[in-house]
Amino acid sequence: MIAAPAARRSFGGAAIPTALSDLHQSMGGKMVPFAGYSLPVLYESDTGGVMKEHLHTRSPGCASLFDVSHMGQIRWHGADRVKFMEKLVVGDIAALNEGEARLSLVTNHEGNILDDTVITNAGDHVYMVVNGACKHSDMAHFEKELAAFGGDVQMEYLGDDVQLLALQGHEAAATLGALAPSLDLAKMPFMFGKPGVDVGGIECRVTRCGYTGEDGFEIACATKDAVALAEKLLASPAVNPAGLGARDSLRLEAGLCLYGNDLDDTTNPIEGVLGWTIGPPNSRRRTEKGFNGADNVITADGKFVKVSRKRIGLAGMKAPAREGTEIFDAAGEKKIGVVTSGTMSPTLKKPIAMGYVETAMAKAGTEITVDVRGKKQPAVVTRMPFVEPNYFRVDG
């Protein structure tokens, strides 16, 4: 059985429906509260269920459509927008060409991770997508930073006026290309976005990105157009709807973090093995720093700080090690860490997990043990991703 995303990402009380809620239910969507919204965890249909939805996304000639409208979409305006963004996040935003997108990290003044985000140079503004569970706390943080900054920058939160769909899988490009012939997808690299795209007569922002390890697109549109857009994409015989459960197992196979599980505001980017989002040695951000908490992430000579724990992949278990499973040394005597995400990999048909261990035990190939329901079983630290990604690359 494939586990749904961790309960800590769900919230009590009334869940907000997205524009697609009625459509999800008409297709057999099993709705759950997630990040304050009502979203399908899976579809109770002939093609549904976490396992089928996951494997469909990975299969040649197929693609899946996910509702990710809980994510927060923000536009940043003003002459000082890039300077301000580089205070908020660790990445080199000034180096982005128009249309280019980058995964980055929002840090607090201790240098720990408040959220992970995708940021795009949209020409006359910066376009930012943040996690749904974090967006309101993010914006409170941004407002506080804006007040202290004092430059020419304005935040425009798009709220529920826009929705966001993710089309993921081998057939994503062909499906989207048939509806958006103006896009030259053979020349559109992964992590590149374009506004004002006509998708089947609907104006959309299209970004070639996603969180499954597959080629795909996140497509933003006005709320009033969301159902029509989803129906046009689902009209392709290659495309099936998929829910949160499959999205979670897909991202874990791809070695991607889930904020709230694998990252939180006590996690340093170096502990999370996300130093690459800052840049290589001698890069501008490594030498100039400038982002919140940088001195707790990068030393005075531009090196990453030493940390006592690191994020690792785990494999070799006989049974899935779920979130919260304790990790011990090979002898099973000394606790060295904890699992933050774990499942039975549908693609590999074996258990995989992600977690944190003491830095000395984080090298790939290190033998350890995990305590699954009171029974110690051997496992091994392994490199991630667990499944080779299929991100699109432009030839040449």
CATH 3.30.70.1400 domain span(s) along the chain: 72-159
Q: Which long-range contacts (CB under 8 A, 24 or more apart) does 190-194 make?
A: 190/215, 190/391, 190/392, 190/393, 191/100, 191/101, 191/102, 191/103, 191/118, 192/99, 192/100, 192/101, 193/99, 193/101, 193/120, 193/122, 193/127, 194/99
Q: Which of 72, 150, 114, 100 is nearest to 291 (CA)?
A: 114
CA distance linking residue 384 with residue 355, whole number of Å: 12
CA distance linking residue 161 with residue 319, whole number of Å: 44
CATH 2.40.30.110 domain span(s) along the chain: 308-386
pLDDT of residue 396: 55
The answer to whether residues 102 and 169 touch, using CB atoms and an 8 Å cutoff, is no
Token duo for residue 240 = 């099936």
Tens of pLDDT, residue by residue over 323-359, are 999 999 999 999 999 999 999 999 999 999 999 999 9
**What kind of fold does domain 308-386 have according to CATH?**
Elongation Factor Tu (Ef-tu); domain 3 (2.40.30)
Token duo for residue 298 = 């990068």
pLDDT of residue 228: 98
Query: pTM score, two decimals?
Result: 0.95
3-state SS assignment for residue 227: helix
**What kind of fold does domain 7-66+161-216+224-253 have according to CATH?**
Gyrase A; domain 2 (3.30.1360)
The answer to whether residues 331 and 232 touch, using CB atoms and an 8 Å cutoff, is no
CA distance linking residue 212 with residue 233, whole number of Å: 18
Q: Cα–Cα–Cα angle for 73, 223, 105, nearest 5°?
A: 15
- The CATH code for residues 72-159 is 3.30.70.1400
Q: Would you place residue 128 in the very low, low, confident or very high pLDDT band (cuts 50, 70, 90)?
A: very high
Q: Is the pLDDT confidence value at 34 over 90?
A: yes
Beta-ladder partners of 117: 104, 130
Tens of pLDDT, residue by residue over 83-94, are 999 999 999 999
* Residues 68-105 as b or e (16 or more Cβ within 10 Å = b): bbbbbbbbbeeebbbbbbbbbbbbbbeebeebbbbbbb
Percent over 90 (pLDDT), the chain: 95
Beta-ladder partners of 164: 220
Question: 4-13, 54-63, 154-163, 367-376: which range is least confident on average?
Answer: 4-13
**What is the residue-averaged pLDDT of the chain?**
95
pLDDT of residue 395: 77
Tens of pLDDT, residue by residue over 254-309, are 999 999 999 999 999 999 999 999 999 999 999 999 999 999 999 999 999 999 99
Q: Is the pLDDT confidence value at 251 over 50?
A: yes
pLDDT of residue 4: 36
CATH 3.30.1360.120 domain span(s) along the chain: 7-66+161-216+224-253
Percent over 70 (pLDDT), the chain: 96
pLDDT of residue 14: 72
